[in-house]
Amino acid sequence: MKCFYFFTSFLKVLSLLLVTEIALAAGSPWAVFKVSYRADGGEVLGGVAGTAFFAKNDLGYSAFHVLNNKIFEPAKPGYLVKIWLVHEGEKAVLVRPSDLQYQPTKDLTVISGLNSQIPKKHLFDFLPSSSLKALPLLRLTSMGFRANSDGPKLEWKQGSLEVSSVPNLDRIQSAGEILSHTNVSIQASDVKLNSVPSFHIDYLAVQGMSGGPVLVGNQVIAFNSFADPISRKTWAVSF
């Protein structure tokens, strides 16, 4: 009995180590953090606007309704605005309009030229297309950040507002199964899709998770696009 208990305990420890290793092998998303502020050091407005992530193909991704031209408009006339990608314990990455390529009919924004500022441990792999046939049998997870939350510490440097550190962020995670994979068209106020391959998933994404990766294990298959509050299900645009 003692030998059996030792063996089963060893298997539990081994399983835990394997799960931990898999978890550590996955990438980690970044929060899209927008701030509008007065140049004279007065009022500061803003918070998390959504989620982005980076892949090992030297590109980053988010939802178009999160990162688009309008995000660079200040909250009030005459205010200045800055957009950063932030992650706990990492240097904030400033985003400029020239870093973004828009695909609005896919609700997709591609981020280029910033991967050199992203530590390799935070980069994701994509699931090979040859594995897609088995997806209905697999469970998905998704990660993101709660909308309008804070976390980054700001400070003034030579008349400019900067992120000095990111001690914490309000991370959220959802999990579910694929209900269907089909082409989706929608004309909403913030999301417009034109026959885009998408996964219908049985979790309700929390506001702020838009643009966040949808994973099978630790590999990306899609990103969160929009949620239906009535059915409490989510549509994720596939790559």
CATH of the domain at 171: 2.40.10.120
**Residue 24 maps to a domain:** no
pLDDT reported for residue 180: 87
Q: Is 96 exposed, middle or buried (0-12, 13-18, 19+ CB in 10 A)?
A: exposed
223, part of any domain: yes
Give the model's pLDDT for residue 197: 92
Q: Mean pLDDT score of the chain, rounded to an integer?
A: 86
Residue 103 falls inside a structural domain? yes
Which among 146, 109, 147, 138 has a CA at the least distance from the CA of 201?
Answer: 138
pLDDT of residue 16: 35
Structural domain count, the chain: 1
* Confidence label for 20 from pLDDT (cuts 50, 70 and 90): very low
Tell me whether residue 8 is in a domain: no
pLDDT attached to residue 131: 66
Structural domain of 80: 32-238
Give the pLDDT band (50/70/90) at residue 13.
very low
pLDDT given for residue 188 in this prediction:
83
For residue 11, being part of any structural domain is answered with no
pLDDT at 222: 95
**Residue 129: which pLDDT band, with cuts at 50, 70 and 90?**
low
Domain membership of residue 26 (yes or no) is no
**pLDDT tens digits, one per residue of 49-76:** 999 999 999 999 999 999 999 999 999 9
**Over 70: is that where the pLDDT of 12 sits?**
no
Q: Given this model, what pLDDT does residue 156 score?
A: 92
**Closest Cα to residue 101, out of 146, 68, 135, 144?**
68
Is 74 within a domain? Answer: yes
Nearest to 235 by CA among 187, 195, 178, 190: 178
SS3 111: strand
The answer to whether position 20 is within a domain reads no
What pLDDT score was predicted for residue 136?
Answer: 57
